[in-house]
Amino acid sequence: MATLEVFLSEPPPLQWDSVSAIRVGGTRVTLDTIVGAWEDGATAEEIVQRYDSVSLADIHAALSYYLRHREEVQAYLVRRRQEAAEVRQENEKRFSPEAFRARLLARRAA
C-alpha cells in the first residue's frame, strides 16, 4: 500500500527555470522539445536516444502530463513561440541579416 501512496503523490518531473521555460527531469531539455519531438512522430524511446540526459521514465511522465493537460501546455507552447518570434525580430533589428551577409561576402572576397 505504501507504494501506491508514493505513486499517487509523485509530481511530474517538470520545473520552471529562470527564463520561463519548463525543463524536464532536472535537465536542460525543455518540455517544448519533448512535446515537439513527440508531435513530429517520435516515440518516447526515440526521444531518449536524442536527449539521453532525460530518462525514459521522465519522458513518459512529461508526455503523460501533456496528454492530461493538453490545453494548458498548448497555451504555454504558443506563448513560448510568440516570445521566440519577438526575440528573433529584436535580434534582426539589432543585427540586420542583410548587413551580416554583406560583411561575410566582403570577408570572403578579401
Question: pLDDT tens digits for 37-70?
Answer: 999 999 999 999 999 999 999 999 999 999 999 9
Q: Are strands 14-16 and 22-24 parallel, antiparallel or unpaired?
A: antiparallel
Helix (H) or strand (E) holding 22: strand 22-24
Which tens digit of pLDDT belongs to each residue from 64-98?
Answer: 999 999 999 999 999 999 999 999 999 888 888 78
- pLDDT band at residue 6 under the 50/70/90 scheme: low
Longest dimension (CA), the chain: 75
The CATH number assigned to the domain holding 99 equals: 1.10.10.10
* pLDDT at site 4: 56
Q: How many domains does the chain have?
A: 1
Cα distance between residue 84 and residue 90, in whole Å: 10
pLDDT at 99: 82
Domain around 73: 2-109
Q: How confident is the model at residue 1, as a pLDDT?
A: 47
Higher pLDDT, 44 or 103: 44
pLDDT in the model for residue 65? 95
